[in-house]
Amino acid sequence: MNGGQVELELTVPSTAENIPLVRHAMAGFLDGHSLPGALTSDVLLAVTEACTNVVQHAYRDRDDDGDGEIEVSAERADDTLVVSVRDRGRGFAPRVDSPGLGLGLPVIAALTQNVEIRPLPPSGTEVVMTFTLETG
């Protein structure tokens, strides 16, 4: 979907308090596309899980330089919705002291038609989630 038009772009500080903000912004975006309710719920959950991963992992090695940011974008083609969640943090790596259950990525994988996790040079991670829109 590289040639697609970006229809939503949002950048917020990487804090837990901002995750509902991202979710509500995404809900507003999805409202405008008249998606089925179940698909909307799936997208909102997947975006929340991806943003939670950023808050919990991406910038945890930073001292007092302030929080990093979460960048969220979404674009719709005819039959797909592609949502990307990016950070400029330490990069994707296993963590033995994870504060969560480690369910975030499995949940994302279950909710999406495709998910790609890419390094983002010079540092950071991009999670690209593709949803197939039901037609008819």
Partner 1 sequence: MGSDKQQPAGDTEGSTSFEEQRVEEQVTVLQVQGELDIGSADALRSALDAAEAQADIVRLDATGVQFLDSTALGVMLASAQRLAARGGRLELMNASPAVRRILDMTLIARTVHLIP
The binding site for partner 1 (CB under 8 A) comprises 16-17, 19-20, 23, 38, 41-42, 44-45, 48-49, 52, 55-56, 100-101, 103-104, 106-107, 110-111
Closest approach of Cβ 76 to partner 1, in Å? 21
- Go through the chain and tell me how many residues it has: 136
Tokens of residue 53, six digits? 């991963």
Return the residue matching tokens 């917020």.
12
Cβ closest to partner 1, residue 75 vs residue 104? 104
Cβ closest to partner 1, residue 30 vs residue 55? 55
**Which 8-state DSSP code applies to residue 100?**
S
19, 26, 121: which is closest to 82 by C-alpha? 26
Q: How far is CA 128 from CA 43, 63, 102, 114, in A?
A: 12, 28, 18, 8
Closest approach of Cβ 123 to partner 1, in Å? 23
Closest approach of Cβ 38 to partner 1, in Å? 7
Closest approach of Cβ 62 to partner 1, in Å? 18
Cβ closest to partner 1, residue 107 vs residue 133? 107
Alpha-carbon distance of 96 to 48, in angstroms, equals 22
Cβ closest to partner 1, residue 8 vs residue 27? 27
